[in-house]
Amino acid sequence: MQLAFCLYKYFPFGGLQRDFLRIARTCQARGHAIRVYVLSWNGEVPAGFEVVQVPVRALTNPRRYAKFSAWVAADLARRPAERVIGFNKMPGLDVYFAADPCFEDKARSLRSPLYRLSGRYRHFSAWERAVFGPASRTRILLIAPAQQEVFARHYGTPAQRFCLLPPGIAADRRAPPDAAQIRAAFRAEHGLGAEDRLLLQIGSGFKTKGLDRSLRAFAALPAPLRERTRLIAIGQDDPTPFKRLAARLGLARQVEILAGRDDVPRFLLGADLLIHPAYQEAGGIVLLEAVVAGLPVLATAACGFAPYVVEGDAGRILPEPFEQAALDRHLAALLEDAAERARLGRNGLAYAERADLYSLHERAADAILETPP
């Protein structure tokens, strides 16, 4: 079959983008042709992919996205595809991969009623309804169970249109047999002694992922612990406001913010704790990547994959509504308690052996190919 995938932006280090690429490659390996519609593509184009960079411009993102959808619809009318798969919400999809949380829920719970008078709200609400409304036929691939209730509450989406997927962790995130040696080499390379603590935060979109919360919790550590702690954040975003915040908090020399990179597994093995106090996160695959690497997790319940951390007893999940003081307390306690971190790490490795945390991309390909056109 000819498959058409739609997403606004591709870059190598976003969670949505990584899922798209692995799902598309899985479909390609099964003999199907891959066409991808994007506004921008940053990175290598896989062999055999037809990447179409849609030539539309506008002053605002909503207007640009509307033009994108219209251009893609016109191109598909000329060059049909058996399935149209979206990784952003838009009209005309046969299948939608639900990598983002419910826009309508955020608009009503986090914004004033006046926001719903804006053109931005009208666009994103209409595009979400085009996917989830009861009149739509789009099949919805969910990556977190809690999403279904939220979308169904706002849109009355029939239950049979949802398909819940397991997580999809890459095999290279699991702790290898020589994990201890990799950890020792990493820590020596970064000048970390036995009593030093390394906090790790990974995820593109530092604001949404709560890097500001992490920095404030870091600054609140007891002075002796704070002095021997460092934080490395990795992701695709403008680091400037967070570097400024670190400087205001007196942490400039202890905080390093890096662009997305390919050697993340070394950081997972070398760190002492993954911190991920996201404001919102439909999934949060990095939580599970840390779990299977044996790295304890401290995250918020806003992350869709947080229940897996609880099930594996591999970290601490902070309830919603978020309280900064609770993050501060848990961070200090975990960094002080080496035995507890070791226990959580062992639990994570054991959980990685018994739970299906790996087959998302194969199951997603199954659902795409089984969906009626």
Domains in the chain: boundaries: 2-166+358-370, 171-354
11 pLDDT above the threshold of 90: yes
Given a contact cutoff of 8 angstroms between Cβ atoms, the answer to whether 192 and 229 are in contact is no
Q: How far apart are CA 5 and CA 147, in angstroms?
A: 22
56 pLDDT above the threshold of 90: yes
Determine which helix (DSSP H) or strand (DSSP E) holds 247, and give its type and residue range.
helix 240-248
Residues 6+ away with beta carbon under 8 Å from 170 = 22, 289
**pLDDT reported for residue 313:** 98
Chain centre to alpha carbon of residue 267? 17
Average pLDDT in the 231-240 region? 96
Q: What is the DSSP letter of 6?
A: E
Counting Cα atoms < 13 Å in the Cβ hemisphere of 158 gives 8
Question: Which residue type, as a one-letter code, is found at position 184?
Answer: A
Q: How confident is the model at residue 373 (pLDDT cuts 50, 70, 90)?
A: confident
Percent of the chain with pLDDT over 90: 94
Using alpha carbons, select from 84, 79, 146, 111 the residue that is nearest to residue 303. 146
The tokens of 71 are what? Answer: 């251009």
**pLDDT reported for residue 268:** 97
Given a contact cutoff of 8 angstroms between Cβ atoms, the answer to whether 327 and 217 are in contact is yes
- DSSP conformation letters of 317-350: EEPSSP-HHHHHHHHHHHHH-HHHHHHHHHHHHH
Strand 2-6 relative to strand 33-38: parallel, antiparallel, unpaired? parallel
Q: What is the DSSP letter of 65?
A: H
Average pLDDT in the 8-22 region? 94
With tokens 């997403």, the residue in question is: 7
**pLDDT reported for residue 288:** 96
The tokens of 284 are what? Answer: 């949060």
The CA distances from residue 164 to 79, 96, 122, 284, in Å, are 31, 12, 28, 15
Average pLDDT in the 38-46 region? 97
259 pLDDT above the threshold of 90: yes
Give me the helix-helix angle, 119-132 and 103-110, nearest 10°. 140
Using alpha carbons, select from 192, 139, 138, 202 the residue that is nearest to residue 165. 139
- Residues composing the chain: 373
172 pLDDT above the threshold of 90: no
Residues 6+ away with beta carbon under 8 Å from 345 = 294, 295, 296, 314
Mean of the per-residue pLDDT values of the chain: 96
**pLDDT reported for residue 171:** 79
**pLDDT reported for residue 277:** 98
170 pLDDT above the threshold of 90: no
**pLDDT reported for residue 110:** 83
Q: Does CATH number 3.40.250.10 belong to domain 171-354? A: no
Given a contact cutoff of 8 angstroms between Cβ atoms, the answer to whether 294 and 348 are in contact is yes
Q: How confident is the model at residue 337 (pLDDT cuts 50, 70, 90)?
A: very high
Q: Specify the CATH class of 2-166+358-370 in words.
A: alpha beta
318 beta partners:
300
DSSP-based three-state secondary structure for 140? strand
Q: How confident is the model at residue 214 (pLDDT cuts 50, 70, 90)?
A: very high
**pLDDT reported for residue 242:** 98
What does the pLDDT look like over 77-111, one tens digit per residue? Answer: 999 999 999 999 999 999 999 999 999 999 998 89
The CA-based diameter of the chain, rounded to the nearest angstrom, is 66
**pLDDT reported for residue 261:** 92
Determine which helix (DSSP H) or strand (DSSP E) holds 148, and give its type and residue range.
helix 146-155
131 pLDDT above the threshold of 90: yes
DSSP-based three-state secondary structure for 199? strand
Q: Do domains 2-166+358-370 and 171-354 have the same CATH topology?
A: yes
Given a contact cutoff of 8 angstroms between Cβ atoms, the answer to whether 275 and 199 are in contact is yes
Percent of the chain with pLDDT over 70: 100
Q: How far apart are CA 297 and CA 92, in angstroms?
A: 38
Average pLDDT in the 356-366 region? 96
